[in-house]
Amino acid sequence: MPEEPQRHGENPLHLSTEMMHTAARVEDTLHSWFARRGLDRGYRPTVIPYDSYGGVHSVRILARTVLTKDGRPETHMSKSIRGWRSFRAVPLNKEVAWVRVGGQEHVVQADRGGVIDAEIPGEFTPGWTTAELWCEGSEVVTASIRIIGPEQTFGIISDIDDTVMVTKLPRPLLAAWNTFVLDEHARSAVAGMAVLYDRLVYLKPDTPMFYLSTGAWNVAPTLKRFLSRHLYPAGPLLLTDWGPTTDRVFRSGSEHKRSTLARLAREFPWVKWLLIGDDGQHDEEIYGEFVENHPENVVAVAIRELSVGEAVWAGGRSKGAGRGRGVPWIYAPDGAGLASKLMERGIL
């Protein structure tokens, strides 16, 4: 008999309904109702794969289980869709899925919002590899996985909003417009940033590239198309899930960034990261805390300075200047300016 696949991603300490926040219980009820309606109307289970990463002994699998009308995710690179369409899919709560990676099959389970985030052991070669994912009744889909080896000692972690893409966040009404209404082709890239990133990965081959954002997983395909169209280097998107948690109404985007940075430092302690963000949200504060706690894991912090107009729409600039632990902090309004200052520091 074939060996039974290993199970990953499940939490043995399931919270009872009574212990969950009221908002979470309401959300679960709505998801269940929409799922039943979707199945009645012929919607099909679908796994939306997200590019991810791993080390030589394990990989992190990121995906989302949803119901869609045709059973296929809207991930075509040439397809232009308005933001709200990214939120049409109905999440499948606690759905079981299968992953085939490194020649082995594993069973994983989604969370309340349909998000799969599971660590799977194995032996992997540095570079790119692939994983196949599917759930009952769905097509098999493929995700790319970046394997980081011990010889790769330099990496890049970049914010997205107003760092590589002009979104003018976090003003609520404009944020909603950009997220739910605006056509993805109407979004503009920050001047010179794609050239800077391309130059960095060209001069430092095999550089792992991560895009860290407080955006929802729903918009990952849209962001991936945007980055590809504007010639940004390929790299995993590290996003979050919107909506209530088991103990609070709203998730914290800042905590998502903090915990993700700490996780990368823990998983790859030999890598020194170039942290890139902007001065319009909380990047300086979050990066400053990371520098304070992990100075050995940071080669430099590069902050894109917003224009006066962008700062107004974004609700102002960060109040504190970055510094600490001997790590250089670099400021410039665009990619060309940051490239020049990185060259002066010998980083580029």
Residues 228 and 57: their CA atoms lie apart, in Å, by 29
Q: Counting Cβ atoms within 10 Å, is residue 326 exposed (0-12), middle (13-18) or buried (19+)?
A: exposed
Span of 33-37, 264-268, 288-292, 340-344 with lowest mean pLDDT: 33-37
Average pLDDT over residues 204-219: 90
Q: Looking at the predicted structure, is the pLDDT value of residue 320 above 60?
A: no
Of 131 and 216, the one with more pLDDT: 131
pLDDT confidence of residue 6: 58
Residues 79 and 185: their CA atoms lie apart, in Å, by 10
Q: Looking at the predicted structure, is the pLDDT value of residue 316 above 70?
A: no
pLDDT band at 168 (very low <50, low <70, confident <90, very high): low
Average pLDDT over residues 35-62: 84
**Nearest of 239, 240, 227, 254 to residue 318 by alpha carbon:** 254
Which CATH number does 154-344 carry? Answer: 3.40.50.1000
Instruction: Supply φ then ψ for residue 207, to 5 degrees.
Output: -70, 125
Asked if residue 300 lies in contact with residue 328, where contact means CB atoms within 8 angstroms, the answer is yes
Share of residues in the chain with pLDDT > 90 (%): 50
Q: Looking at the predicted structure, is the pLDDT value of residue 314 above 60?
A: no
Q: Which helix (H) or strand (E) holds 213?
A: strand 209-216
305 alpha-carbon distance from chain centroid = 23
pLDDT confidence of residue 200: 95
pLDDT confidence of residue 90: 78
pLDDT in tens, 225-237: 889 999 999 999 9
Query: pTM here?
Result: 0.82
pLDDT in tens, 95-106: 899 999 998 999
Domain boundaries, the chain: 6-147, 154-344
pLDDT confidence of residue 247: 43
pLDDT confidence of residue 309: 57
Q: Looking at the predicted structure, is the pLDDT value of residue 219 above 90?
A: no
End-to-end Cα, the chain, rounded Å: 55
Residues 131 and 90: their CA atoms lie apart, in Å, by 23
Question: Which CATH fold would you assign to the domain 6-147?
Answer: Immunoglobulin-like (2.60.40)
Q: Counting Cβ atoms within 10 Å, is residue 202 exposed (0-12), middle (13-18) or buried (19+)?
A: exposed
pLDDT in tens, 80-123: 554 444 556 678 888 899 999 998 999 999 988 889 999 999 99
Reported for 281-285, long-range contacts at CB under 8 A and 24+ positions apart, including other chains, are: 281/159, 281/161, 281/162, 281/169, 281/170, 281/314, 281/318, 282/254, 282/257, 282/318, 283/159, 283/163, 283/318, 284/318, 284/320, 284/321, 284/322, 285/254, 285/318, 285/320
Q: Looking at the predicted structure, is the pLDDT value of residue 180 above 50?
A: yes
Q: Enumerate residues 6+ apart whose C-beta is below 8 A from 230.
A: 164, 189, 194
Q: Looking at the predicted structure, is the pLDDT value of residue 36 above 80?
A: no
pLDDT band at 57 (very low <50, low <70, confident <90, very high): very high
Q: What is the mean pLDDT of the chain?
A: 80
Question: Could you tell me how many helices (H) and strands (E) the chain has, helices first?
Answer: 8, 17
Q: Looking at the predicted structure, is the pLDDT value of residue 155 above 90?
A: yes
